[in-house]
Amino acid sequence: MEYSKPKDPNVNKERAKLRNAMKAAEHNTLEMLVKLFDWLDGLRPQSVTDIVSLYEHSQVIEAAITNALALMNQAGRGENRGANEEITKGVCRKFLTLFASVGRTIRSLNEEHGGMLQ
């Protein structure tokens, strides 16, 4: 099947302009990709062990806070008036454990990174 050629010469000029614009856009895109990959090649690999360690510690801290809040909620409801003192002691122990854990984490990370967290 043969297509008929456009009779209007402006159509060919428009096609040429569009083709040139498309080639220019393709060229710009390839240049941008080259710059992106050059930038990526220049990056240093980052260790994720510190991030994983911090995440694990944050999970422990969150669990301790949730547990302490549950104990406080239980004490606040007044269901066990005689046990309130024990619940309060339990909450205090949980928070002391939490703060000790946070302190150990900060000291450990500080030592690993040469005192950057001071």
Residue count (the chain): 118
Give pLDDT tens digits for 79-100: 555 666 776 777 777 777 777 7
The answer to whether 87 touches 78, Cβ cutoff 8 Å, is: no
Chain Cα centroid distance, residue 29: 28
Provide CB contacts within 8 A for 118, sequence distance 6+: 110
**Mean pLDDT computed over 13-35:** 92
DSSP label of 40: H
pTM here? 0.38
Give pLDDT tens digits for 26-57: 999 999 999 999 998 998 877 777 778 778 87
Helix (H, G, I), strand (E, B) or coil at 67: helix
Torsion-angle region of 6 (φ positive above 0: left; ψ -120 to 50: alpha; else: beta): beta
